Amino acid sequence: MQRYLTQRLIAFIPTLFGISIVIFIVMRLLPGDAIDAMVGTSFKLTEAQIAALREYFGFDKPLPEQYWIWLTSALRGDFGFSVRSGAPVLPEILARFPLTLELAILAMLIATAIGIPIGVLAAVKRDSYIDIAGRLFALIGLALPNFWMGTLIILVLSVAFGILPNSGDYTDFVKDPIANLKQLLFPALTLGFAFSASIMRTTRSSMLEELRQDYARTARGKGLKEQAVIVGHCLKNALIPIITIIGLETGYLFGGAIIVEEVFALPGIGRFLLNGIAQRDYAIVQGTIIFIAFNFVAINLIADLAYAFANPRIRYD
Amino acid sequence: MTTVRAFLIELGKTLKLLARNRVAFFGLIVLVTLIFLSYIGPLIWPAETKSNLAAIYQGPSWQHPLGTDFQGQDNLRQVIHGGRVILEIAFITGILTTLIAVTLGSLSAFLGGAFDSVMTELINVWLTIPQFPLLAILATMLKVSDVWLLAIILALLDWPGLARQVRAQVLSLKQRDYVEAAITLDLGTPHIIFREIMPNMMSYIAISLIFAMTGAIYQQTGLVFLGLVPLSGANWGVMLSLAYNRGAIYTVDALGNVLAPVGAIALLQLSLVWLARGLEEVFNPRLRTSV
């Protein structure tokens, strides 16, 4: 197990390194730069002034040097300054991150709470109405993009129940947990819906596989109640692929969060990134993407660890 | 000529099998209907050029079966006009993604060695980069307004997942006796990849192509919805974006304006997923119930 963990931890670093290079290259290959975007919209500057600005922000240096400067400062926790506002990027990201993280965690909890029970039921009662309904649910979750879902939720709430989802000021969880959860409930449902469908599908197929195994028959043969066989024996083994899917998809939730934050007007890192993109603010975009990628890799690492704990074949290796 | 005939015979057989599979057949019918409506429909029902202020946000009626939008224009007509671009981008992206993924994935599995190591590492890193944010950056900064450019960007982002699966498939097919025989006979890499391995993967590739299309539909409508690519022309994403930004979403009477594009997208996605599921059963003899 220790070898497995060390391998995973070692693979973490080159992956992040690779991501940072790819993002840096993509940002620099694109036509135009932050200075153009800054100057183009507000003032007319002379060539000399533009050159001075370029020099000030370091855009005149050769690319490998720019990358090196950015990388070494990023390692010290300095993600640079926003070209627009002049504020350091990392504190801005960290200030917005709790909201996005909370949204992702809530969505994951909702998705697991819906996906696993329905998946187990569908597998146990295969080809029954529950199974058919569950499969239909999974299909809809797969086919409907999450912003349609978000729009539909707003629509149903506002039209049928006359409540408008809160799109005013965001309340911090620490200040008022209940108001905060009220605000995040529908965004989290939106984000979690598609996710619950994929968890349900994985749970169903994985449970079907386990229910067929010899050990399940043995457990039934020695007189265990069906419930004990399903939960205590089969689900425990079926959890292994489910954990992998949860880990992978939680990473994707950060991508989905961008759209959901926009739809529900929540000030998370998704909206921050969108604004950064619109203003061509290199430091913000680079920093945010690296930050999201870092979380993605970290979550996968945690999933790998959970996987190792759930799977005795790795645990006792 | 013989290849064309063989292909047509194969196609006929597949369609026959498809007709027996209710889910796949239903998906195919919905898909063909949507394609037909999007390409032939505009010729029968030309676009409305004037707004009709007297008919803003109307509910369903005989004249406007799906109601009207903020300009008093017919929602159904807009849905008919808005499918073409989405279908085209989805199709081109699907083809390009599959082409890149199949070429690189099979080469990687087949050549092995340094190329394989580099590809595997590249794919791993690529898959870790948050796709949608990167797509948002590329689409905004390149000011995408061209169908092909958007499709190329989508394909460049989407290929790694599929390439990894293709690589695994080829690796396992490579072990089969007939491929080993071809290697021993020194028939050359192109022959082995295209004549021995590919035919055995066609079903898999067809299904992946469909899933690549659903991914492309999601991504492009997401971009349009967020306003990251220019809002021009008729497009279901543009329709929903306008409905959302003009507040149709908070108006009871404007239900049709929101539900029409949502329904159209959902129907297109569902038809593709149904078709893919059905094809899976058709091509995989073990899943097939009767032949």
Q: Does B136 touch chain A (CB under 8 A)?
A: yes
Q: Find the domain containing B146 and state its range.
A: 32-47+66-288
Say whether A18 and B121 touch across the interface (CB within 8 A): yes
> In angstroms, what separates the C-alpha of B191 from chain A's closest C-alpha?
34
Using a CB-CB cut-off of 8 Å, the residues of chain A touching B125 are 15, 18-19, 22
More confident residue, B5 or B144: B5
Q: Find the domain containing A12 and state its range.
A: 2-75
Residue B96 has pLDDT above 90, yes or no: yes
Domain count for chain B, please give it.
1
Q: Does B137 touch chain A (CB under 8 A)?
A: yes
Q: What is the pLDDT of residue B284?
A: 65
Say whether B141 and A280 touch across the interface (CB within 8 A): yes
Lowest mean pLDDT among A197-201, A296-300, B143-147, B191-195: B143-147
Say whether B142 and A256 touch across the interface (CB within 8 A): no
A263 shares a domain with A122? yes
Q: What chain A residue is nearest to B266 in terms of C-alpha separation? A: A144
Q: Does B146 touch chain A (CB under 8 A)?
A: no
Answer for the pair A118, A171: CB distance below 8 angstroms, yes or no.
no
Q: What is the pLDDT of residue B231?
A: 56
Inside any domain, residue A296: no
A113 shares a domain with A56? no
Using a CB-CB cut-off of 8 Å, the residues of chain B touching A151 are 240, 244, 249, 258, 262
> In angstroms, what separates the C-alpha of A15 from chain B's closest C-alpha?
6
Quick: pLDDT tens for A204-247. Answer: 888 888 888 888 888 888 888 888 888 888 888 888 888 878 87
ipTM of the complex: 0.72
CATH label of the domain that carries residue B136: 1.10.3720.10
Which residue in the set A27, A143, A297 is minimally distant from B266, CB to CB? A143
Q: Does B221 touch chain A (CB under 8 A)?
A: yes
- Give every residue of chain A whose pLDDT is below 50, as ranges: none
Q: Does B228 touch chain A (CB under 8 A)?
A: yes
Which residue in the set B129, B138, B258 is minimally distant from A22, CB to CB? B129
Inside any domain, residue B27: no
Inside any domain, residue A233: yes
Say whether A143 and B141 touch across the interface (CB within 8 A): no
A189 shares a domain with A274? yes
A178 shares a domain with A44? no
Using a CB-CB cut-off of 8 Å, the residues of chain B touching A153 are none
Inside any domain, residue B276: yes
> In angstroms, what separates the C-alpha of A218 from chain B's closest C-alpha?
27
Residue B37 has pLDDT above 80, yes or no: yes
Which residue in the set B125, B129, B137 is minimally distant from A277, CB to CB? B137
